[in-house]
Amino acid sequence: MTSVMAITRDDLGKLLLVQAQDKEIDALKKRLAQIPEGIAAIRAETEAGKAAMEAAKKKSQEVQLRRKEKELEMSQKEAAIKKHQGELNAVKSNDAFKALLKEIEEAKKAVSDIETEVLTLMDEGDAALKGEKAAAADFKGFESKQGEQVKSLEAKQAELNAQLSSAEERRKGLLEGVPAELSDKYEKTRQRRQGIGLSRVDGNLCTECRMALPPQILINIKKGHSIEYCDSCQRILHDIATVSSSAA
């Protein structure tokens, strides 16, 4: 497909500089897009670490609560024993006396069992408290490290934004040297073709899609007086091997 618009190799050279700038801008935008994802991942890890610390704290509190409940239950049993022992002198019948003794013995056994549970809970509580303190210390260090990583990414984000702003200004300046109709065709082609509007000819091939080009198009490209498109990928073709900023 051939355009009737007249151009020069110098025009294409300037447009190649624009495309080089576009590649730099696209790369910067891609890196910038990754930073919020990285920050979000770090913050998610921080929240997970916080959740682990809170879980350790909750476990410690639950063990302490169970211990207090058992200690209260034991205190109530001991009070019942004391009460029943005081009632022994007041009973009139042997059966009532035996019944009280049985209740006292059962209460004493219950107290003994509860004491065992309390001792076990004391050990569990000590272990849970150590776990809580360790988790809190680990999280403090982890949170500090994660915070530094976030700051580093935010600093990189600011740096890349500054680079992007400069690159976009350079692109604007370069584009001013390209004929408006040519730049318009380039922009439209670039939008349709994953950000690449120009393709260099290598022998008889389009380097972007690797399809062979018709002889007449190759002849027209050598002349350098018109815009030529690849019939396959529709990119603007050129045969300029390299170009320097002096072309601008």
Residues 6+ apart with CB under 8 A from 2: 217, 220, 226, 227, 228, 229
Name the more confident of 224 and 45. 45
pLDDT tens string 152-181: 999 999 999 999 999 999 999 999 999 999
**Taking all residues of the chain, what is their mean pLDDT, rounded to a whole number?**
91
CB 16 within 8 A of CB 183: no
pLDDT tens string 189-208: 999 999 999 999 999 999 99
Domain boundaries, position 191: 2-247
Query: What are the angstrom distances between the C-alpha of 95 and each of 88, 116, 117, 132, 196?
Result: 11, 32, 33, 53, 104
Which residue has tokens 């609560």?
Answer: 65
Distance of CA 9 to the CA centre of its chain: 46
Name the strand (E) or helix (H) holding 228. strand 226-228
pLDDT band at 90 (very low <50, low <70, confident <90, very high): confident
Supply the CATH number for residue 106's domain. 1.10.287.1490
Residues 6+ apart with CB under 8 A from 64: 125, 128
Distance of CA 19 to the CA centre of its chain: 31
Residue length of the chain: 248
In the chain, how many domains are there? 1
Q: What percent of the chain has pLDDT over 90?
A: 79
pLDDT tens string 109-119: 999 999 999 99
CB 198 within 8 A of CB 167: no
Helix, strand, or coil (residue 89): helix
Q: How many helices (H) and strands (E) does the chain have?
A: 4, 5
CA-derived radius of gyration, the chain: 41
Q: Which of 187, 185, 181 is closest to 229 using CA atoms?
A: 185
Cα-based angle 204, 239, 248 (whole degrees, multiple of 5): 165
Look up the pTM and report it.
Answer: 0.68
Distance between CA atoms of 175 and 238, rounded to whole angstroms? 18
pLDDT of residue 4: 53
- The phi, psi pair for 178, rounded to 5°, reads -100, 135
